[in-house]
Structure 1
Amino acid sequence: MISIENKQVREKVRDFIGGAFSGVACTLAGHPFDTLKVRLQTEGTTGRFKGMTHCLTTTIKEEGILALYKGATPPMVGMSIINSCMFGTLAIVKKKIHPDTTTPITLPEIMVSGAITGWAVSFVATPIETVKSKLQVQYSGTKLYSGPIDCIQKVVRQEGIQGLYRALIPTGFQRNSLWAYFGGYELANRYLKREDGTMTVGRSFLAGGVAGTGFWCTNFPFDVIRSRIMTMPNDKVTGKPIYSGMIDCAKKIYAVDGWRGFWKGFTPCLLRTFPANGATFVAYEFVMKMIPAA
């Protein structure tokens, strides 16, 4: 007989493993679109790219098709860690919010659990995604970092450990939209489940795409702000970072680009959403089936 305590530990480990595999799947399916998104976000409307197609063709022409996978190593490892923490933390938070195992958890409870999980995961996601973003915006002839380890070393040497956490607050607001992510997945699940209560791979993929769409539609301006802060250079005159914080960054984006600036890169983001998040939940559900519940 397995004790209740051992069952709980097994379930937590199961969620963390499922999350790790989902992170790998998410990166493989969505990283090229993410590179285009970050490049468009950081360049703004007055930058070097006229739009998504121009960004794609210019990147491939000047740097080769593998440039679309620049910075893929940090998210390959990082998304495994982030998603592992995300799914594992979500399971813990849901049990705290809804401890009664005899009744199903409600949709509002899942959404609150997602929001809390988002802020918690931000402490893990911020440094990983800072490194990823810095590598993604290395253009031809402007290579500052030879790889993720070199990037981390240089950032810490120049700015201290806080250099990896400058975008923590906007990342927290961005990740807060996990309420829409897990809420959207649960809602889609309820409509897409077959009569016997099971989900096919195709239906899980579709539900994941719905979840991702809800996530990005509710947080994209914060994602633009955090991308700017993560990749910001120092002012050439003062030598200080060009943004003093989230509010200052938002004001400067609006002053130059207006409201359009907060939605720069949204098209490749939406194109990335279905394959990346569909793959995320397919991988997660696959692991859940491969590792039976205690």
Structure 2
Amino acid sequence: MEGKRNIRIIEWEDLDKRKFYSFGVLMTMTIRAAVYPATLIRTRLQVQRGTALYNGTFDAFFKILRAEGVRGLYRGFMVNTFTLVSGQGYITTYELVRKYVSGYSANNTVKSLVAGGSASLVGQSITVPIDVVAQQLMMQGQGEHLTRFKAKPRMVVAAKQRVTFGQTRDIIVQIFAADGLRGFYRGYTASLLTYIPNSAVWWPFYHFYAEQLSKMAPSEFPHLVIQGVAGPLAAATASTLTNPMDVVRARVQVEGRSSVTETFKQLLREEGFWGMTKGLSARIISSTPTSIVMVMGYETLKKLSLRTELVDSRHW
């Protein structure tokens, strides 16, 4: 009975890599489309001073919807889809490092901690330039006065897609003209300080919550449901612990600041402790469905990607 309650983790060597990557791209794209509005709202909340524009997550949602329509909630989304590359890099790094660390330690927390942090390092190295551009696009519309770069207005266009990438081109040219190549890695240090701890914390908490829940649930209870509950619990924990650095990261990237330390000090000086919680509710709101879909999707993805001879060997 004890063996049934323990959730067996599908490791890298158990997977058919061709299936894994094919299904993985589709899963990642679906998740990003579902949570993008919350990501945009979080960015605008973190960059604004006090409550100058929005008074919380739901106020921001309705104001953007009224003023800019549904398209306003998806500003920069087409650019953000390029982070699919970083997503695959993240997953691959996590699984490979986890496999490597298992040669030195059988402790699941250690494997998850090291692999999660390493995966985030690789993922952010690819993601930051995309994020820098996407965040500038997110701020267009109601939030454009809070950013250094503004897309040129286009009165007549032939297609929506041309508008999207026309604005993207404007922003890229302005960033390069102002800061050169370094401008695309503005906030890189802040991103690492945010997402490496977030990822390193999320995975151990995810496995911890999953194991604790599995011990409380009946032995025949589906592991996938347990994992689906453990995901958002881990996300809420990680988001709360790392949100202060996420606020600093957003301001460094959008406002063009160069010092993480000075930005942190100014935030504390001007807005106090509560400034560190800006966008936290939006972050948790976006991370909850993201975690449920990601965890259930990722675990299902690994199940579907199992090598044929192992399909019947896993309790689901």
Report the TM-score when normalising by structure 2.
0.77
Residues in 1 aligned to 2:18 and 2:276: alpha-carbon distance in whole angstroms: 38
- Asked if 1:179 corresponds to 2:200, the answer is yes
Q: What is the CA-CA distance between 1:230 and the residue it aligns to?
A: 1.3
Q: Return the alpha-carbon distance in structure 2 between the equivalents of residues 133 and 280 of structure 1.
A: 23
Q: Give 1:51 deviation, angstroms.
A: 2.2
**Residue 219 of structure 1 pairs with residue 221 of structure 2:** no
Displacement of 1:65: 2.7
Q: State the distance in 1 between where 2:274 and 2:68 align.
A: 28
CA–CA separation in structure 2 for the residues paired with 1:161 and 1:15: 34
Amino acid at match of 2:72: A
Aligned position for 2:287: 273
Q: CA RMSD for the aligned pairs?
A: 2.7
Identity in percent: 19
State the distance in 2 between where 1:192 and 1:19 align: 26
Number of residues of Structure 1 aligned to a counterpart in Structure 2: 275
Cα deviation, residue 113, structure 1: 2.1
Measured at CA, do residues 215 and 76 of structure 1 come closer, stay the same or move farther in structure 2, by a change above 3 Å? farther
Deviation larger for 219-228 or 176-185: 176-185
CA contact (8 A) 1:17 1:84 kept: no
User: In the alignment, what sits opposite 2:263?
Assistant: 249
Moved over 4 A (4+): 7-19, 140-143
The CA deviation at 1:39 is 0.6
Residue 162 (str. 1) matches residue 185 (str. 2) = no
Q: Look up the equivalent residue of 1:93 and give its one-letter code.
A: V
Indicate the structure (1 or 2) with the bigger Cα radius of gyration.
Answer: 2
Match of 1:52 in 2: 57
Aligned partners of 2:194 and 2:22: how far apart in 1?
24
Give the structure-1-normalised TM-score: 0.82
**Gaps in structure 2 of 5+ consecutive residues:** 1-11, 145-149, 153-162, 309-316
1:90 aligns with 2:94: yes
5 Å-filtered alignment, 1:168-207, equals: 168-176=188-196, 177-193=198-214, 195=219, 199-200=223-224, 202-207=225-230
- Paired with 2:226 and 2:252, the residues of 1 have a C-alpha distance of 37
CA distance 1:14–1:174, change in 2 (3 Å): farther
**Contact 1:15/1:91, CA 8 A, preserved across alignment:** no
Q: Tell me if structure 2 keeps the 8 A contact 1:126–1:165.
A: yes
- Counterparts of 1:54-69 in structure 2, within 5 Å, are 54-69=59-74
